[in-house]
Structure 1
Amino acid sequence: MIREHKNVLLLVADDLGLYLGCYGTKGIKSPNIDALAAEGTRFTNAFASTASCSGSRSTIYTGLHTHQNGQYGLEHGWNHFQTHEHIETAPQVFNSLGFQTGIIGKVHVGPRRAYPWEVFEDSQSRDTKWVASRAAAFFDKAKETNRPFHLTIGFHDPHRDNTREGFSNDAPEVVKAGLEGPDFRVDDVEVQSFISDVPELRTELIQYYKAIWRLDKGIGWVLDALRERGLDSNTLVVFVSDNGAPFINSKTTLYEAGVQLPFIVRKPHQEPGVVNSNFVSFLDILPTAIDWVGHKDGDIKTPNTGKSPKRLGDSVLPILESSQTLSGDKWKQHVFGSHTFHEIQNYYPTRYLRTHKYKYHRNIKNRLDFPFAADLYGSISWEGIRNKDGPVMIGKRPLEAYLFRGPEELYDVEKDPEEVHNLAENENYQDILKDSREKLEAWQYETNDAWLFRDGVSATVMEDYTKLGLRLPDRFELDLKNPGTKNVDAWKPPVRK
């Protein structure tokens, strides 16, 4: 009987951030996603590794950071970043288990041979009725063949369209389907604290809210299709956004608005309405799916078993119904993140460590100015912000601080959630800074991060030479006043676990 199978349904929104009613955004209309949260578990400390579409999706589908899986930036067009072919991916895992695997909608990772979904319906459509109909056909096929399934749906909403302020609410297919969205007013939208309140932003937010409404309708129709076929009682449903909202100081940054995201999980017959404050990473999603279907991560034989790096994420199922923050010996209470590119011209490698109290950023190429993603630079909201009278502020952050960042940033996120007051040079926080740096670098070393830099070069790449006697100075950058190696401490690699 099909009901004996355990299935996985993964729903991925595009550039949603925390703009949902269940996450406290006022005026938004997201009743179906809110209902999913009320039936399952809503994580409040869920973090993406990176804040860019292709990169984030690759971490979800591989359980590896982008510096491990090779999807360093966007896949499409001139960018052409690709996941390494030796990396084990979700469709490989579930194909090996005999599942019907599929993806509908936005794919945005490659190459195709690294992601061998059995059903592959790559589409740019914003017609969420059509998306739901394709999901229903997928469910029907699984029932007819009596196979378990793993289905990913990549919604295109609420990503920007190719205009300066639009979100495809007037696209012909959207209008034909009656999915233009409600008539939100300027006063209905909420300007979150990460960005400055200007009229142009509110104009965009009205259109953004409509696209979120359309996404929510699609989620509702997909879940209806699942329930109507009796599959909701044996399907794990996971809902996430790939990265933060498509505005300055959010998407493409590793600040909170870019990477602290919705993560909702509904397990059949679970305790409803759980609000879970334990730290989870998007790298936990694939191990969770594997655990749900009754297997141990690492025990499944795929074509890339033994070639792909070991996944460091954990299944969240053991803590899914926990309404208490667990101690660190029972569950990890930190996450790491890794961003290198967005578009190919947007190079700004950064790594981060986030705990309940502190956020540490290592800006590896901090001598560069922080780059603008094309759609954010071209937006009318950025034009409004930069032309506002007085000093240009992006939320509570001066423009200069947004563009030019030091090699390290340390924030007390309990007191300073907008990450404005950098404590890296504060003498009272040097022990915390040193501890954060050491933990992050140990993680970089463990994950073979080529962007673990010393003296301006990759310490990871140079390790073969240091074993041959090369003296690599223990400093971030080459010191122009003292470029020699004789009178400085040499870098010593962290101890691998």
Structure 2
Amino acid sequence: MNIVYLHTHDTGRYIEPYGYAVPTPNLMQLATEGVLFRQAYCAGPTCSPSRAGLLTGMAPHSAGMLGLAHRGARLHDYNQHLVPYLKRNGYETVLCGIQHEAPEAAMIGYDHILGNPDYDMSNFSFRSVEWDEENANAAASYIRQQHDKPFFLSVGLFNTHLNFPDPDPGIQRDYVAMPYQFHDCAENREQWAAYMTSAQAADRCAGIVLEALKDSGLWEDTLIIFTTDHGLPFPRMKCSLFDSGIGVSLIIRAPHIERNGKAVDGLVSHLDVFPTICDIAGLRPPSWLQGYSLVPYLEGRSTSVRSSVYAEINHHVDYEPMRAVRTERYKYIRNFGECTYLPRNLDASMHGSFLLENGFLETEKPAEMLFDLYLDPVERTNLAQCSTYSEVRASMEKELLDWMEATNDPLLHGDVGII
């Protein structure tokens, strides 16, 4: 069985399969042919920790990824990455596009690196649409080749990371509906039109890869996983432990599992992807995995494989240590650092500038936060000091600390250091 891991930057769930008016027809088609996970969450809402969690099956702190790979963070042991594991089990491993788990892709150990691997997120003139299309076509060419053994192909798209391409002229800015976190004004509608354009570009590239699988006759022999690393690149989203930061898209199409077009409401962590691959491919899972196979979801045998998901922040640009546990109903966030938002951890954007200019840095960032997600799904009413919820808060705090101990979280012993 082949495996195609298709991933974007900073998309959250803002695509068509989740009901948003962001035209992404290829991903919508994939969702109707696979399984859509409505409650999937990353292990850390910044680029490298999120990807490290998914590709090692461990919490980022357990894997060693305490910050961004291009700023010096790295895994404790790259042999625990999915790629060397699959190589040891007879797979040809291929990277096309972005990886963000190592300072250099060669450290991971891919057999082949295709297309153009060089990109610069700080370059405002970087042509992300053309770069993604070049890599998508390179991935499609590889798929259409003859293969002597099963392959694992990682197709990493730059979109929807900032800086977005110029808005498509066909998008009528005055008629777009933005996320609830956005104030409705012309400036923010322009920003959202640019995001929609970036998402459309990512979808076109996904379509190139998916079409190649169908044209080559490999569709029925390939496990397809589509996801993103974390939420949108705006305040209270990326680099935050609110659902808008840790909530991610996840679509899985598994060969010979007939669940086409079904949605799953049970909790899912990115840590569950590695054990799911092992289960579907018939491989013995390695000892370090901390997640659970999603095959019971895929086969419709269960509505729950886990009762909680966990997430963390350590370093983005500045040090911002935080931990969270989320159940179906409750979210508990513990802030181990400063009770203030850090401007260098907020990606530069029009929407971000709008918030900063209007006092965002003066808004409250408490040491503890508790949310009742049934009554407050947008996480605006902090119940951590509410006597009615004191037993819930104590239970959630204990669960979080127990998880930190079980996963040898270095934050229990003090600051984890500056990258």
User: TM-score normalised to the size of structure 1?
Assistant: 0.77
Q: Kindly state the Cα deviation for residue 182 of structure 1 after the two structures are TM-superposed.
A: 5.7
State the Cα RMSD in Å.
Answer: 2.2
Identity %: 29
Counterpart-to-counterpart distance in 2, 1:323 and 1:158: 34
Counterpart-to-counterpart distance in 2, 1:387 and 1:69: 38
Residue 5 of structure 2 aligns to a residue whose secondary structure is strand
Q: Equivalent residue for 1:319? A: 297
User: Which stretches in structure 2 are left out of the alignment for 5+ residues?
Assistant: 120-127
Residues 7 and 234, structure 1, Cα contact 8 Å, conserved in 2: yes
Does residue 187 (structure 1) correspond to residue 174 (structure 2)? The answer is yes
Please point out which of 232, 239, 249 is paired with 2:226: 239
Q: How many pairs align?
A: 404
Q: Kindly state the Cα deviation for residue 126 of structure 1 after the two structures are TM-superposed.
A: 3.0
Residues 181 and 213, structure 1, Cα contact 8 Å, conserved in 2: no
Q: Kindly state the Cα deviation for residue 91 of structure 1 after the two structures are TM-superposed.
A: 0.8
Q: Kindly state the Cα deviation for residue 9 of structure 1 after the two structures are TM-superposed.
A: 0.6
Q: Equivalent residue for 1:88? A: 80
Residue 452 of structure 1 aligns to a residue whose secondary structure is helix
Which has more helix, going by share of residues? Answer: 2
Q: Equivalent residue for 2:342? A: 371
Counterpart-to-counterpart distance in 1, 2:335 and 2:345: 21
The Cα offsets for residues 106-144 of structure 1, whole Å up to 9 and x where unpaired, read as 112215454111112424353243222211232244x34
Residue 11 of structure 1 aligns to a residue whose secondary structure is strand
Residues 181 and 210, structure 1, Cα contact 8 Å, conserved in 2: yes
Does residue 443 (structure 1) correspond to residue 415 (structure 2)? The answer is no
Counterpart-to-counterpart distance in 2, 1:44 and 1:182: 31
Please point out which of 112, 115, 126 is paired with 2:129: 126
Residues 174 and 186, structure 2, Cα contact 8 Å, conserved in 1: no
Counterpart-to-counterpart distance in 2, 1:381 and 1:375: 11
Q: Equivalent residue for 1:411? A: 371
- Alignment CA distance shift 1:240-1:385 (3 Å): same
- Alignment CA distance shift 1:24-1:102 (3 Å): same
Q: Which is higher, the Rg of structure 1 or of structure 2?
A: 1
Tell me which of the two structures has the higher relative contact order, counting C-alpha pairs closer than 8 angstroms and 6 or more residues apart: 2
Query: Amino acid of the residue matched to residue 379 of structure 1?
Result: S
Please point out which of 31, 39, 55 is paired with 1:61: 55
Residues 276 and 323, structure 1, Cα contact 8 Å, conserved in 2: no
Q: Kindly state the Cα deviation for residue 23 of structure 1 after the two structures are TM-superposed.
A: 0.5
Residue 323 of structure 2 aligns to a residue whose secondary structure is strand
Query: Amino acid of the residue matched to residue 349 of structure 1?
Result: P
Counterpart-to-counterpart distance in 1, 2:356 and 2:102: 36
Residue 353 of structure 1 aligns to a residue whose secondary structure is strand
Q: Kindly state the Cα deviation for residue 97 of structure 1 after the two structures are TM-superposed.
A: 1.0
- Alignment CA distance shift 1:135-1:364 (3 Å): same
Query: Amino acid of the residue matched to residue 110 of structure 1?
Result: A
Residues 275 and 323, structure 1, Cα contact 8 Å, conserved in 2: no
Query: Amino acid of the residue matched to residue 96 of structure 1?
Result: R
Residues 181 and 211, structure 1, Cα contact 8 Å, conserved in 2: no
User: TM-score normalised to the size of structure 2?
Assistant: 0.91
Q: Equivalent residue for 1:383? A: 353
- Alignment CA distance shift 1:433-1:84 (3 Å): same
User: Which stretches in structure 1 are left out of the alignment for 5+ residues?
Assistant: 1-5, 162-166, 170-179, 300-309, 462-497
Q: Equivalent residue for 1:259? A: 246
The Cα offsets for residues 68-124 of structure 1, whole Å up to 9 and x where unpaired, read as 112211122xx2212223650011101101211011111122154541111124243
Q: Kindly state the Cα deviation for residue 286 of structure 1 after the two structures are TM-superposed.
A: 1.2
The Cα offsets for residues 313-359 of structure 1, whole Å up to 9 and x where unpaired, read as 11111221439734xxxx2121111211112xx21111111011100
Counterpart-to-counterpart distance in 1, 2:378 and 2:327: 15
Please point out which of 391, 394, 409 is paired with 1:434: 394
Counterpart-to-counterpart distance in 2, 1:21 and 1:360: 29
What does 1:168-179 align with in structure 2 at a 5 Å threshold? 168-169=165-166
Q: Kindly state the Cα deviation for residue 441 of structure 1 after the two structures are TM-superposed.
A: 0.6
